[in-house]
Amino acid sequence: MKKTFFIITAVALIATVALGLCACSDLSDVYDGTPYTDPDSWRLTLHTDFTALDSLDGTVWAPSPHGLRKYEYWCADMIEFGDEGLIVKSVREDDHKCSAGICPQSGVFTSGIETRDGDEVLFEQAYGYFEATVKVPLGTGMWSAFWLQSNNVGNIGNGGKDGAEIDVYESSFLSDPTKTGSAIHVDAYSAPWYSYGDHVADTGKDLYDGRFHTYAVLWTPDAYIFYVDGEETWRTDYRGVSTVPEFLRLTVEIRDPEYAVYGPYGQKIGAFENADDGANDFVIKDVKVFACDDFAPYVNSVQDFDDKKGAYTAAAVCGAIAVAAVICAIATLIVVLRRKKRTLQK
């Protein structure tokens, strides 16, 4: 009788912990892809044709925040305009002249643009279709990205619902040029609550052919669906689809070649080198955003969510107690079974 009781207790506790872990897993395979709405309710909410611009004045775009990023400096002076659109240059310089007087004289300099200027968000939207037509940098040691972000992504708890980093694409598969990566990051950027889900897709086409490619995400209340040149590459609702408005970012990052010549998906990208043939240029031609009015009832504001750090800490303590209980139950079970065996042997 005791044996049965202990077995039931142990199985129940293990099942509880296992179910808790499963609830956090990716549910992308259950999304059936049913069109959420009819196309008539879609409308264009942002269109920037960068080939028609010679500055960002009067647009919803601003240079990414000035200063040291990781190894590289983001300097607004690295942004230029050409016939093909906005160009983010990437160079190592020993005589860098920063017009803002922020950057050092020596270093590796690059930049990006976003629909946020300092703390002021210039354009943001929850749900819709977001696409950017760009030429990725062809040089080694660097990656460009098109991503969406919320100022609230640092909050703990609620998974992605109160804001997620949505990486529509991250390049740097130079050694494997048909591949592209996408990712979702939630709950701040450090342990223990932070997590991310990502996917590397093989598009079957050379994304490093020096031509423009269009990277997009369809963000519905049910899922994020990613596309390269109109072909779906991944769909996910990782840790709950974001329900709050997010701003757009198109950036270049470079890592310290001495410590990490790996891209965001662990792929080797090599060390950064200066190029005088434009190979390191990130060219942004066009960005479009569409909204669907049917999604409006599902939009939340960041104020609708609490930072759940305290509640999560309590949950972690409960979880630790549950795991300890499972270990105790198994240990007790082993002891009981051994005793029973000894009794039978006598």
* Preceding omega of 65 cis (within 30 degrees of 0): no
Comparison of 76 and 223: residue with beta carbon closer to Zn ion? 76
Comparison of 75 and 225: residue with beta carbon closer to Zn ion? 75
Comparison of 75 and 287: residue with beta carbon closer to Zn ion? 75
Minimum Å gap between C-beta 147 and Zn ion is 22
Minimum Å gap between C-beta 102 and Zn ion is 5
Q: What does 146-168 look like in DSSP terms, one character per residue?
A: EEEE-TTTT--SSTTTT--EEEE
Residue type, 6: F
Instruction: With beta carbons less than 8 A apart as the criterion, state whether 222 and 241 touch.
Output: yes
Minimum Å gap between C-beta 111 and Zn ion is 8
Closest CA to 300 of 169, 185, 183, 164: 164
Q: d(Cα 236, Cα 166) in Å, to the nearest integer?
A: 11
Comparison of 64 and 155: residue with beta carbon closer to Zn ion? 64
Residues that bind Zn ion (CB under 5 A): 75, 98, 102-103
How many CB atoms lie under 10 A from the CB of residue 223?
Answer: 22
Comparison of 27 and 102: residue with beta carbon closer to Zn ion? 102
Residue type, 161: K
Minimum Å gap between C-beta 104 and Zn ion is 9
Q: Tokens 């269109």 label which residue?
A: 47
Minimum Å gap between C-beta 66 and Zn ion is 5
